[in-house]
Chain A
């Protein structure tokens, strides 16, 4: 999970000036937009060999939900 949070934050152009953990609502992170969502899809495929689509990302709120969707 820790690695997943780090990888997720790497997708943002700038580091958020707030503490981020598994309970953070990722869509509220500064700089989160459709391109970062697309980056997430590509990162999950490249780094985890899994797939996640835009629909699933839309349904998730916290980073933990996202992590579980990827590993579910």
Chain B
């Protein structure tokens, strides 16, 4: 049983599905995000309707800015069993047309802020011994490099490298660190891709997935397994590709 986890990106896509999954199992979730109204609408009201308000707590942090942790008092932060970083953005443009601002924001959200947040969790001893950290990566930047995805690939590849070294560093504490790298999952992020390349273009792309596109639920069992120390006590430093067979096609 996992008692408490921290989830970033808890109001959308994979993070939202994961948040609901943990709450349904009785795990307390600390949701990190910047949009309280959205949290209230998609998570809090869902909890209230089921009498589970005590299982979800909101902590404000804006991962898009340079100092994402200024409003968090880590000395009062709860001690948790797991941290799952799902927050992410997907800027799509050829590199020469990316704006500096977009590059900075994507790098902050996908790479720097998760690192700074993890650093503080460790500095203030907020993760139990035997706990687990999971970062959501991507097949982009670890197995493939799609056109128009340079910054996204750089951040996802970067976080995967960070994970490997951190897994080694934290082994003495029994804290395990892994990355799950999905292919295309039916989320608002995939909708953004579809809005750019069109329905037909998206269909052609998804036809390259032997098992079709994934759903957020496709990833939850593996995240659950990695967070639970009983099921994954000897698994650390790994990048798990979960892509419906795309990269072997």
Residue numbers of A with Cβ under 8 A of B are 34-35, 38-39, 41-43, 46, 53-58
Contact = CB atoms under 8 A, between A and B. Distances in A.
A54 B92 CA distance: 13
A53 B198 CA distance: 6
Nearest to B98: A42
Contacts of A38: 92-94, 147-148, 196-197
B196 A41 contact: yes
17 contacts: A38-B94, A38-B147, A38-B196, A38-B197, A39-B93, A42-B92, A42-B93, A42-B94, A42-B97, A53-B197, A53-B198, A54-B198, A54-B201, A55-B199, A57-B198, A58-B200, A58-B201
A7 B224 CA distance: 49
Nearest to B199: A55
B75 interface: no
Contacts of B195: 53
A35 B200 CA distance: 17
Nearest to B94: A39
Contact of A54 (B97, B99, B147, B196): B196
A54 B195 CA distance: 8
A61 to B, nearest CB: 16
B97 A53 contact: no
A34 B198 CA distance: 12
Given A34-B147, A54-B198, 4 more contacts: A38-B94, A39-B93, A39-B94, A55-B201
A54 B94 contact: no
Interface SS of chain B: helix, strand, loop or mixed? helix
Nearest to B197: A54
Contacts of A57: 198
Nearest to A57: B198
Contacts of B196: 38, 41, 53-54
B150 to A, nearest CB: 11
Nearest to A53: B198
Contact of A56 (B94, B99, B198): B198
Contacts of A41: 196
Interface string B172-214: 0000000000000000000000011111110000000000000
A50 B81 CA distance: 46
Contact of B94 (A35, A55, A58): A35
A65 B84 CA distance: 47
Interface string B56-71: 0000000000000000
Contacts of B147: 34-35, 38
B79 to A, nearest CB: 45
B183 to A, nearest CB: 18
Nearest to A45: B93
B204 to A, nearest CB: 10
B199 A35 contact: no
